[in-house]
Structure 1
């Protein structure tokens, strides 16, 4: 729904918004919340121009309002993580058997050379804010780390410090992979760059720093690379992914991160933002196996059992671009370095938010009500039970001297599961093609029309 300030209610909402974003205070947060109440209650009028929601969204994405005020209000840091990360860790390539990947990695680091998976990389989900995930890719070969969407630098560097202590290895952050421009994904880039610059200056001038800064700076390398879309232009980006760098159907060399040890394929996935990217990380380039695994970082274009809000979708072709990427075996289920095929069940899907229980609850009801075909219905039901169980299980972790019980994270899913259960990926392509034909005939298809097909179509 596009909202405007043409009538009285819209004008009132506009005033509330302006008050909220002009000065940071609790009262102004209340004013901003009132806009949301008006929006979701349906009291705001709908007309064609100008779109009120577009104004709010533009303000959020801007540096002057969103970067300075709104991101701190909407995405505050938390002292306690929302989930226990450990069950979501994965080694690539994986160790044999049903083992704790995190423990295997720590043991391999402590006893270098004694394990056949010494050259594996470890993916560590890092819970940040109320429900976001950042991800860390640890390479023991180079002792460097690549991070996906490290929007909360303090939490990210604390996790690197924790893994460094547990593994007896001094890891440092060398690369950032930014899926899109929103503040809960890109908001930490500039602070990490600042720490990287300070480290470079300290190394050159041998200047002492205050203990807090020095402690954080220890885990950031000088010359930090922030990799992001030229279309989206996430704040702090210093290495641009252009159209020529994107993998389309059978070409495009991977980028190498963590000191050249981890190959990563960049994949275009427009809709949530125009320049949204996914990243497929493969096994270290020193490893060559027939049966391999990979990690696909989707940002907010796809969640476990759902898809992100299509804030910047321009047409149905954008949706088809993302849909086709997930069904293109070269793009999402082949090794980024060797091109070797990877079984879809071994492609770990790591998403941007912990929404799984809510999304699968809604999806389960939808699949029953809309009478989806039997196979997708069964997969949805099984995944709903899995995520409910994980969120009910609470394992204790030690934070300093205090033990905290946290629900288990529901990531990763797998490419195989998402192709069968995810409402966007399980819908028949023909349903989206028909919607595109309607768009070509009428010159207009709304986001609501697109979402209706994705969530309610029985063509699965």
Structure 2
């Protein structure tokens, strides 16, 4: 298996998930179809699926055009999310076969009503999860359609429980600002300082900051770390879910 990161729009990422054995591939959130199709052509793969994380236009807005340009594509999306052109709605426990790859669905509603993430543990490559706008590098999405408890379940209990070496591919290049905020919440966290220095170097060279890993996120992501004493003290809360809610509210109001 191989993953190709495709920068699109202003700061989004689409992805190609390629089964090397069959040269079949899925595209994740191809909101800029021509760019994604050019990447697929370059890789010489046959696209069989669109895997939609959620219904927002900058993730699902290219589905109809992709379906028109590649008529045999199956468009997959989360149950109840009403994403554009979705033909098959999926939830927890569902799988999608892309060539010989088994893609497992994690149902993570909160950012949108039916947001999903896609998890793979292939025989010929590292484990990986595509998190859309539920988890960013050092961040998480807004609670547009859900509650702090739902985000805690999605972020901490689901994504956070994946094997530590799982690669995390998110939907946006928000990493530098996320880490700048994380540093205000945990100013003595050396892992955040080190990651921020690396990110600035990457961006200066025009490189993406994905993928992260689950283990790295446990060190740097304040939303995932909402059970840590430093963040409980920062928010003045004793309950991790309430802590998560305060971190989200403060991040939304924060300006660099």
Q: Output the TM-score relative to the length of structure 1.
A: 0.50
8 A contact 2:142–2:248 mirrored in 1: no
8 A contact 1:326–1:425 mirrored in 2: no
Query: Is 1:180 matched with 2:54?
Result: yes
Measure how far apart 1:448 and its partner are. Answer: 6.2
Measure how far apart 1:229 and its partner are. Answer: 0.8
Measure how far apart 1:293 and its partner are. Answer: 2.0
Q: Which residue pairs with 2:80 in the alignment?
A: 231
Structure 1 regions of 5+ residues with no counterpart? Answer: 1-120, 165-170, 198-222, 247-251, 334-343, 372-376, 394-406, 439-444, 456-460
Secondary structure of the residue aligned to 2:7 is strand
Q: Which residue pairs with 1:362 in the alignment?
A: 181
Q: Which residue pairs with 1:319 in the alignment?
A: 151
Measure how far apart 1:310 and its partner are. Answer: 1.6
Query: Is 1:241 matched with 2:90?
Result: yes
Query: Is 1:306 matched with 2:155?
Result: no
Secondary structure of the residue aligned to 2:2 is strand
Secondary structure of the residue aligned to 2:118 is strand
- Give the counterpart of 1:255 among 93, 96, 113: 96
1:76-128, Cα deviation, whole Å (9 max, x unpaired) = xxxxxxxxxxxxxxxxxxxxxxxxxxxxxxxxxxxxxxxxxxxxx11000000
Secondary structure of the residue aligned to 1:138 is strand
8 A contact 2:181–2:251 mirrored in 1: no
Question: How far, CA to CA, are the matches of 1:418 and 1:303 in structure 2?
Answer: 9
Question: How far, CA to CA, are the matches of 1:181 and 1:253 in structure 2?
Answer: 19
Question: How far, CA to CA, are the matches of 1:152 and 1:140 in structure 2?
Answer: 24
Q: Which residue pairs with 1:383 in the alignment?
A: 195
* Bigger proportion of residues as helix: 1
Q: After TM superposition, which residue ranges in structure 1, 4 or more long, deviate above 6 angstroms? A: none
Measure how far apart 1:435 and its partner are. Answer: 6.6
Question: How far, CA to CA, are the matches of 1:122 and 1:311 in structure 2?
Answer: 32
Secondary structure of the residue aligned to 1:297 is strand
8 A contact 2:14–2:31 mirrored in 1: yes
Q: CA RMSD in A?
A: 2.5
1:354-383, Cα deviation, whole Å (9 max, x unpaired) = 111121122223321xx5xxxxx1211111
8 A contact 2:13–2:172 mirrored in 1: yes
Question: How far, CA to CA, are the matches of 2:52 and 2:228 in structure 1?
Answer: 28
Q: Output the TM-score relative to the length of structure 2.
A: 0.87
Q: Which residue pairs with 1:416 in the alignment?
A: 215
Secondary structure of the residue aligned to 2:35 is helix
- Give the counterpart of 1:151 among 31, 43, 62: 31
Q: Which residue pairs with 1:191 in the alignment?
A: 65
Question: How far, CA to CA, are the matches of 2:203 and 2:52 in structure 1?
Answer: 27
8 A contact 1:420–1:426 mirrored in 2: yes
Query: Is 1:266 matched with 2:105?
Result: yes
1:384 and 1:275, CA in 2 relative to 1: closer, same or farther beyond 3 A?
same
Q: How does 1:58-77 map to 2 (within 5 A)?
A: none
Secondary structure of the residue aligned to 1:423 is coil
Question: How far, CA to CA, are the matches of 1:361 and 1:429 in structure 2?
Answer: 19
Q: Which residue pairs with 1:278 in the alignment?
A: 117
Measure how far apart 1:452 and its partner are. Answer: 4.8
* Bigger proportion of residues as strand: 2
